[in-house]
Amino acid sequence: MSGERTRWLEFSASTAREGALTWGQWAIWGVFRQLPEGDDSLNQAGWVPVGARLTVTDVADALRRTVERHEALRSVFPRFADAPVQHVRAEGRIPFELVDCGSETVAVCAERTSGRLRRGAFDNERDLPVRAAVLTRDGVPAALVVAASHMAVDGWSFHLVLEELRQALSLATGTVSAPGPAARQPVERALFEASEEGVRRERATLRHWERTLRAAPAVMQAGTATPDDAPRDWAVIRSPALARAARELAARTGIGTGTVVLALTALVLAARTGGDTALLRLIVATRSDAQDRGFVGAQNQNGLLRVGPAEESAENFVRRCAGATLAAYRRCEGDPRKVEQLAVDVARERGFPYGGFCFFNDVRFRGADRIGAPEAERALSGADWAAELDRTTLETVDRPGRQAGAKFFLFLGELGDTCRLTLAVDPGFRELGSAERFLAALEAVAVHAAREPLGPVDALVAVAAEGSERRAGV
């Protein structure tokens, strides 16, 4: 069993300041308010290897520089319960453990330590949002494990932090990495959002949302009668066939594989709910400005995508969905409290209960996984596709928790040699059917579209119903 010793890592930076929350911080704050006290499900954790000949002091110095560089990593949020602000500390300390791997491999010890550091809610009002541990073997550092509060960083930001640490810890001892100029800090981002340009963007976002909400079917946004504490229907699919289909369609259209999966998700949603249009809320990293490309903080917001099949080919539908997705990305910046109030008002005016949206969240964090289209591969025969389908695993899973305001929440977790999707469905969303059947239908539609990309999209609508019957129970 590995040994553990807790130390403290002290930092000292030049800036201490306070400011309003950014739109992204307000968005994740709203999620925190929906969680029970002590919930730690939003915490993030990961690890990076340490290069040869580095010392524990080298590792501590690299982490210290990163914390001092990014104000989000040394911020707390006074009055968190009802009227939070962000307060950046110039000085402080974070827990920094030394863990001896013992007989465990570094990877096993790192995963176990990541899980342990991830457990336990941060006190966002008082606690600095970072915990860390350096793993050693025979006194030599082998890996650095970091956990962080989601109030401080979203998934993309956490990826940036880990990559910065990975680069720093791959260097030889005595050298210092030289990351590029620091991106805009959260306090500065909040000032931009209050500026004339920020207000202009927010107004454009609200206009887009109002038009889209009013035009979309009620079934895609109406809440259900399911109690908040009732379990959701969860399912997970791991499908090499779906991944291959996404790559083939991406190669034909010049569109990223993630956007292909999003387009097919929208098509199956529209088909299985009996309408001609899908409405999806997209989790967007919101880093279009040059000053925000390396932004570290809670920055994610929601885009709103409305799209449905028309008289066109499968290939053209994917292209059209990609264009609509880009438009949704351009109109996602704004105060989420205003956006939600708009959705409440539209639902009331249209006569249905608020709170039943469908979400799509691409949680892959490697840029290479998300950008660009792959090259074409050799065509598969019918027997080849059958063999790929035989490798699919599809199962229901028991999982606690719910996504506030959502009756459908799809996570894209992997899209390389296989496609891993996790879906949570509100059992009150009866028009859709079960999570398992939806994922089976999505796989069937993807394979059909890849095999007949110039075929009519109407054929895919039919497959959306038939495919779930063929695959359910795999």
* Burial of residue 61 (number of CB atoms within 10 Å: 0-12, 13-18, 19+): middle
The percent of residues in the chain predicted with pLDDT above 70, rounded, is: 92
Residues 6+ apart with CB under 8 A from 13: 68, 71, 74, 90, 91
**CATH number of the domain encompassing residue 240:** 3.30.559.30
pLDDT digits (tens, 9 = 90+) for 379-400: 788 888 899 999 999 999 987 6
Q: What is the 3-state secondary structure of 352-374?
A: CCECCEEEEEECCCCHHHHCCCC
Domain boundary among 189, 211, 243: 189
pTM of the entire predicted model:
0.90
Q: Beta strand pairing status for 140-148 and 75-76?
A: unpaired
Domain boundary among 189, 216, 241: 189
457, 313: one domain: yes
Q: How many domains does the chain have?
A: 2
Which candidate, 88, 83, 84, places its Cα nearest to that of 72?
A: 88
Q: Which residues on adjacent β-strands are paired with residue 143?
A: 49, 135
As a whole number, the mean pLDDT across the chain is 91
Give the pLDDT score at 374: 64
Give me the domain span that covers residue 21: 4-189
Average pLDDT score over residue span 320-337: 96
185, 286: one domain: no
Domain boundary among 169, 189, 209: 189
pLDDT digits (tens, 9 = 90+) for 456-473: 999 999 998 775 554 533
343 has a pLDDT exceeding 60: yes
**CATH number of the domain encompassing residue 52:** 3.30.559.10
